[in-house]
Amino acid sequence: MAEVDNNRSAAGYTTGEVAGLIGLSHDQVRQYVKRGIVEPQRGGRREYRFSFQDVVLLRTAKGLLDDKVPSRKAISALTKLKGRLPEATPLASLRIFADGKDVVVRDAKELWDAESGQGHLDFGTPLSAEASFEVARIADRELDDFSDMEELGSHEWYNLGLDYEDTDVPKAKEAYARAIALNPENADAHVNLGRLFQLEGDLKRAKRHYRLALDAAPGHELAIYNTGTVFDELDELSTAAEYYHRAPGVPDAHYNLARIFELRGDEVSSLRHLRIYRQLLEEKT
């Protein structure tokens, strides 16, 4: 997946769009931001820009209010829950709902109280099925509400593509295609669309989109690395290695180079790239 933090800060959904989509007031949306429950990016005019994950979480908060959980208790529960979770686990990945007056959480293993952390008896459906349905339904509402190409820009379609990758790959491909139609030089959209084609075994289309990404952004390391993987799959290892060498910031490029050098019998070079691979991974953690 391409690294597009700078792009995402200029995309996403405004406070008004989120409020209209979910049914919260503008003030309610801002209250969840103030408490740190959602952490939207900032647009060019310093306005809030909410991601798909923010929309999912705010929709969960609205569900608690609809189930008669007082606003103060809902905010308290979500704040305590966020503080208790590991940093790598986003609130939006959990199924959070009301059980009477309590706010409870269902993860992959158990059901527990959001405020106290104490376990509950779980008579519900598994998270994998229920949460996947919920995310897909929200995504469908977004696409229905903002499907007009005059309303969404290239970055917004790109972000929808990211969101759909976990729930509906064909829609992800369509969203990336729309992003490219609006801006043929959206290199990240080309890279991600190419990767989806590559995962399907369509190396010709994958390579084409990687090439278009590099035409738009010649130094795009992920596009360079992914092009190398296409040649790797075709057993054109010398060409693959050339591309891997041009992507020194991608850890897997060094891992693949280590493998290629090992096949060539160059143990020194293989070990050197394995060492770089491990160093880069440590820097990212």
For the domain that residue 30 is a member of, what is the CATH number? 1.10.1660.10
Amino acid code (one letter) for 53: Q
Q: Which of 74-83, 118-127, 146-155, 206-215 has the lowest mean pLDDT?
A: 118-127
Does 4 score more than 60 pLDDT? no
Residue 19 covered by a domain: yes
Amino acid code (one letter) for 272: R
Average pLDDT score over residue span 119-131 = 42
pLDDT of 196 reads: 92
pLDDT of 125 reads: 38
Q: Which of 232, 236, 212 lies closest to 223 in space, CA to CA?
A: 212
Is residue 101 very low, low, confident or very high in pLDDT (cuts 50, 70, 90)? confident
Average pLDDT score over residue span 18-30 = 82
Residue 176 covered by a domain: no
Residue 212 covered by a domain: no
Does 43 score more than 90 pLDDT? no
- Predicted TM-score (pTM) of the model is 0.53
CA separation for the pair 13, 100 (Å, rounded): 32
Cβ burial of 86 (10 Å; 0-12, 13-18, 19+) is exposed
Residue 14 covered by a domain: yes
Across the chain, what does the average pLDDT equal?
A: 79
Cβ burial of 45 (10 Å; 0-12, 13-18, 19+) is exposed
Is residue 69 very low, low, confident or very high in pLDDT (cuts 50, 70, 90)? confident
Residue identified by tokens 């970055």 is: 155
Residue 80 covered by a domain: yes
Is residue 31 very low, low, confident or very high in pLDDT (cuts 50, 70, 90)? confident
Structure tokens at 206: 């994958």
Distances (CA, A) of 126 to 89, 106, 111, 138: 18, 8, 10, 19
Give 146's contacts (C-beta < 8 A, 6+ positions apart).
13, 17, 152, 156
pLDDT of 247 reads: 94
Helical spans, DSSP H, in 99-202: 127-145, 154-164, 169-182, 187-199
Which structural domain range is residue 34 located in?
5-134
Return the percentage of the chain with pLDDT > 70, whole number: 78
**Domain count of the fold of the chain:** 1
Give the CA angle between residues 46, 50, 52 to the nearest 5°: 160
Residue 249 covered by a domain: no
Residue 115 covered by a domain: yes
Average pLDDT score over residue span 131-159 = 56
Is residue 134 very low, low, confident or very high in pLDDT (cuts 50, 70, 90)? very low
CA separation for the pair 253, 113 (Å, rounded): 44
Residue 196 covered by a domain: no
pLDDT of 99 reads: 78
Helices 169-182 and 187-199, packing angle to 10 deg: 150
